[in-house]
Amino acid sequence: MNRPPARPPARPLVIAHRGSSAHAPENTLAAFEVALRAGADLLELDVRLDGDGVPVVLHDETLDRTTDSSGAVAELPSSVVRAADAGSWFSPAFAGQRVPTLREVVDLVALHGSGGLLVEFKGTWAPAAVAGAVATLRTAGVADRSVVQSFEVETVRALRDVAPDVRRALLVLHPGPPAAADGLEPSLRDLAHDPFTALSTPAGQARVQAERAVADLGVMAVNPYVATLVASPHVVAEHHAAGVATYPWTVDEPRLWADLLRHRVDGIITDDPGRLRGFLDAREVRASQDEALEDRQELTLAATRQGAPATRLTPA
């Protein structure tokens, strides 16, 4: 009887979305510390410039949703951004957490000694600003274990020109024309009405997009919204055929983790890296047990064929 391989597909990277954001306020040092302790391979974080040109770690354009302050980050001085409480909204236990600078997060990773960064540059960045941010990675010695990415082709191109040796990725909603900076959120809202149809990708389209991204931007990964892979699982194989990895975002359900493993994604971006790490560990233990049992069964069958007494099997 032909059996499928006992071993699961190659283990994907565990990528902590804004840190361990299921357990601590997103994009704070607390969330990144929890993720590192949970064994995350990469910390995914969002970087934008404040009014003084300092790279700070915050997803939104404003402070309104995740702090006790308000206002557009790009228009506020560092002193105001740094004074905001970025933890109380999540839980009183995190009161006093601040919006960290990129430097602070990089220093945390460097101090920890393991794990890397998946840095998303929000919006369009000029080459000079990109150079300053990448210099922060280099100074701390973590550039070689980091990946930089953006939805904006212009920003990825600036990253290519300024730091050709640092690995790059292109973020996409789905295979097709890249979304404009002000068009991503409306596109996501439109997809909510009929996501399966909207995200279905004709055969070959993902490979063409990935090959163009490699030729123009020199990327090593193209990272789509996970619903794209639910609607069109063949996208992963097409990315691999184009020579790029795939880290879908953002995936918190074990059923989807299992599906993504079957399609051999290279990394999974999740709000709960500790749970994903446990899920992957458990799969590997189970696969080892199944393989050991299958080996014992084959040995017993071989012995029986040679006339030796069969050994009674007890599952491991």
Domain boundaries, the chain: 13-274, 275-316
In this predicted structure, which of 42-56, 64-78, 161-175, 302-316 has the lowest mean pLDDT? Answer: 302-316
Average pLDDT over residues 308-315: 48
* Per-residue model confidence as pLDDT tens digits over 98-139: 999 999 999 999 999 889 999 999 999 999 999 999 999 999
Q: Is 70 exceeded by the pLDDT of residue 295?
A: no
CATH of domain 13-274: 3.20.20.190
- 250 cis-preceded (ω within 30 degrees of 0): yes
How many of the other CB atoms lie within 10 Å of CB of 69?
Answer: 16
Q: Extract the tokens encoding 112.
A: 């920890």
Q: What is the mean pLDDT of the chain?
A: 89
Question: Mean of the pLDDT values across residues 287-301?
Answer: 62
Task: Grade residue 185 by pLDDT with cuts at 50, 70 and 90.
Answer: low
pLDDT at 290: 57
What is residue 175's predicted lDDT score, i.e. its pLDDT? 87
Cα 178-179-183 angle, rounded to 5 deg: 170
pTM of the full structure: 0.86
The region of weakest confidence among 65-69, 194-198, 257-261, 302-306 is 194-198
Strands of the chain, DSSP E: 13-17, 42-49, 55-57, 116-121, 146-150, 167-172, 221-224, 267-270
pLDDT, position 177: 60
Instruction: Give the mean pLDDT of 226-255.
Output: 96
Helix pair 153-162, 205-217: axis angle to 10 deg: 40
